Amino acid sequence: MPDITQSPLPTPTIPSHFIRRTGDEPPVQDAPIRAKRRPQYGQIVTGFVAIALLVLFIQSQAQNPNMEWSVTWEYMFNPVVLQGVGVTIQLAIFAMLISIVLAFGIALMIQSTNKVVSVIGRAYVWFFRGVPMLVQVLLWFNLAVLFPVILGQDTNTLISGFTAGLIALSLAESGYMAEIIRGGIISVPTGQTDAGVSLGLTRSQALARIVLPQSIRVIIPPTGNQFIGMLKATSLVSVIGGSDLLTRVQLIYGQNFKILPLLIVGVLWYLILVTIAGTGQHFLERRLNASQPGSRRSAKTTGTATTTNIRTIIGGALWRK
């Protein structure tokens, strides 16, 4: 120990609670005194209670004769059910893709300096976001009442339950997506447009080439949420016989009256789909954060290759460089 009294510097006054007393010394000399967090007793207790309740619930339901788990397992991988799962996935993906394309157009319309075009865009969002999805599904399915013949074809053969559902889901979703995309566009500082325009771009070129590519990173996370919502919203199509998962499950229990076991089949499949989509979203967002130009991970650890990759995949696919 250095002798403090020999020190040329005046001894600083140390608050008394800061002075190490004998017995406080850590095992290794001059090592910092370790500090431990207070134990989380509450968390331990709730953990035990929650596990106990869950076990009780599962046990009671596993032994509940009305649940008929054997029926659930029997139909879980039934080809009819699996086809339904396929239709649900298709509906969700196609409706999402169509709605994103529509929404880009609508968002640009709303942001337009042309006030008429802007009002039309707003009216579109107002209607398709305002009318419940279920009502929209029914409206499109009953289109034949308004227009019995479309393009020289019988409307009812042209618009099946699947197409009516696809159109309704796409349009309803495009109202929400338009607002998400508009939010992304607004999130890019106006200075970016100023800079682009100062170089000699027109305002619309600056929007397409400078602002939109930078808005993508704001648009993607909520779009993931919307897709998960869409996976579930496809079940609305069951009211018009859209041949999706729920339609088929209902079809089966309509015949064998095993209502609950078959609804559980539906529950399990929806949870599986949502879990897969949620995991995908998680990784996409992580990748997006990692590739953020300037984030510490991007340049130094993951390398600029990833950065450029994501940028070209997302940006390049939509806007030619």
Partner 1 sequence: MAQVAPAGTSTDTMLRIDGVHKWLGHNHVLRGVDIEVRTGEIVCILGPSGSGKSTLLRCINHLDPVDGGVIEVNGERVGYQLHDGQLYEQSERRVAKARQHIGMVFQHFNLFGHMTALDNVTYGPVRILGRPRKEAVASARQLLAKVGLADKDDSYPSQLSGGQQQRVAIARALAMEPRLMMFDEPTSALDPELVGEVLQTMRQVAEEGMTMIVVTHEVGFAREVADRVVFMDQGRVLEDGPARKVLDDPQHERTASFLRRVH
Query: What is the smallest separation between the CB atom of 43 and partner 1, expressed in angstroms?
Result: 38
Binding piece for partner 1, criterion CB under 8 A, among 36-44, 168-176, 194-202, 256-264: 194-202
3-state SS, residue 150: strand
Q: 69: how many CB neighbours lie within 10 A of its CB? A: 14
Question: In whole angstroms, what is the distance from residue 117 CA to residue 106 CA?
Answer: 9
Q: Is 303 an interacting residue with respect to partner 1 (CB under 8 A)?
A: no
C-alpha Rg value of the chain to the nearest Å: 30
Selection from 87, 57, 134, 61 nearest residue 248 by Cα: 87
Dihedral in degrees, nearest 10, Cα atoms 293, 180, 285, 207: -20
Binding piece for partner 1, criterion CB under 8 A, among 55-63, 69-77, 193-201, 245-253: 193-201
- Among 194, 254, 267, 275, contact with partner 1 (rule: CB under 8 A): 194
Helices then strands, counting H and E runs in the chain, come out as: 16, 2
Q: Is 15 an interacting residue with respect to partner 1 (CB under 8 A)?
A: no
Q: Is 210 an interacting residue with respect to partner 1 (CB under 8 A)?
A: yes
Cα within 13 Å of Cα(64), Cβ side: 12
- Among 105, 129, 139, 213, contact with partner 1 (rule: CB under 8 A): 213
**Contacts of partner 1 in 16-75 (CB under 8 A):** none
Number of residues that bind partner 1 (CB under 8 A): 29
Question: In whole angstroms, what is the distance from residue 165 CA to residue 140 CA?
Answer: 7
Q: Is 202 an interacting residue with respect to partner 1 (CB under 8 A)?
A: yes
- Among 114, 204, 279, 289, contact with partner 1 (rule: CB under 8 A): 204
Residues in contact with partner 1 by CB under 8 A are 189, 191-192, 194-205, 209-210, 213-214, 292-295, 298-299, 304, 307, 311, 315
